[in-house]
Structure 1
Amino acid sequence: MELITSVAEMALATSNWQAVGLKVGLVPTMGYLHEGHISLAKRARAENDKVVASIFVNPLQFGPKEDFSRYPRDLERDLNLLEGAGVDAVFHPTPQEMYPEGFNASIEVLGITDVLEGAHRPGHFKGVTTVVAKLFNIVSPCKAYFGQKDAQQVAVIKKMVRDLNFPLEIVICPTLREADGLAMSSRNIYLSVDERKAATVLYRALTAAQTAFENGNRQGDALRKLMNEVISSETLAKPDYVSVANPEDLREYAGLIPTGKGVLLSMAVRFGSTRLIDNFQL
């Protein structure tokens, strides 16, 4: 497995592969990998001739009061995990390599980024779409792999790809969970012992709403109320938002959910200084 830190070198490597007809898959990450990331790499390995994983903690998607400086990093561990998953090259640029002096461009998807994460983290998705667009242009993958846990990010990237005619397929892979239901996340490391126990309330709230939905409750407001009630039973949990929305445009369902429409149950909840997100798509 090759470690590449230069934009030019990464672009040349993938260009050479594609020149001889090889299909390239891309797994974008911010590092500090868990089994969820590795499942993306393994899926990419099974579906492509060459696999590139990026490790880049993107400063553009962090707000001034967010955790960029303390975001967990362990490159050696990440490289070992990716090599074990069959990745061919890891792209690990510095912020200066990705955003050199004079950099002043951005990609922004409007509308769908105004709600949920976008409402609570202004500018976050502008940073996400800018870096992902750069990665797509540098690597030129046939397929790019993302996890369902970041449901709004998935929707935003899929819309960017459609609107800007990026010639690739976005592959969405299921959320991987711990034995007690907590979604795997690099930020779980921040939780104290008590907060880690409390964090399972996200899964319990989502499961309660899913059960109600499957038993015939098709009222958006009622499902939101049910999830909020479950979350409020946990004193350490402080919700930012709880949502019952259309998974395509993220518009909230208030009353009766139209027959045949998909439903995205999602939430962001704080436990001390740690903010976790999770979702179910029904």
Structure 2
Amino acid sequence: MSRTGRRRVSGLRREELAQLAGMSVDYYTRLEQGRSRTASHAVLDALAAALRLDGAERAHLFDLAEHRPRHQAPGRALQQVDPTAHRLLEMLDSASSPAFVLGHHTDVLAGNRLAYALITDFAALPPRERNQARFVFLDPYARELYGDWETVAADTAAMLRMEAGRRPADRELGDLIGELSVRSDDFRGLWADQRVVERTRGTKAYHHPVVGDLTVSYQAMALAGQEDQTLFVYTTPSGSADETALRLLATWKSSVDLGRSRESGPEPGPRSAVT
């Protein structure tokens, strides 16, 4: 690599990045400043390779560069979960597996009883509050619940930034980001990090007030035929203390629901977190 002037900031300079990506400094500068809208996939691939982007970061780069038609996300009333997905949630509940569906803006669209018992009863909240990002950043209980709140918070902010790249004209998403920026210093700092992520699998630790500490593995799956709806399923190793904790939580939740049903009558059918 040819030598350039004195480095003023950490990381690659424009000259170095342009050289690694095989393009002129002028062209790279125009791309960086949004003055060129003709970047080919080959150019974007070269930039992604030069920057050593991971899969989520590469997708975000393409979202920002390709200038897809600007459109609004469906309103809350249109984010309906298919009845088949509701039945799947019930089946997973019977297997002591917490599960829920996230839609646009990290809205919690539906969940089974065990998911609500583990995290919080989103179905009991006003529709606007049934949102994972609001829960993580604005509900003090979230800091007590998550064993590694800092990681959960960072991932949540990065998920919103990923969606913002896909939907730059989404007014509801912009309003959510603005609200979190005003009400949460933590979110404001994380948003400035410019990080993006797509969560597909991992683990989460909980300090639950009923069953104590437990760790679950999660898998995220896109729901076929449903735009931007993702099913999250939590599992634990068979025979583990974590599995026992989930089963105890399921038993506790059933007893609570039974007590409520005796007081107020039968519980309604599958609950959706969007009305």
Q: TM-score range by the shorter chain?
A: under 0.3
**TM-score, normalization: structure 2?**
0.24
- Larger strand proportion of the pair: 1
**TM-score, normalization: structure 1?**
0.24
Bigger radius of gyration among the two: 2
- Larger helix proportion of the pair: 2
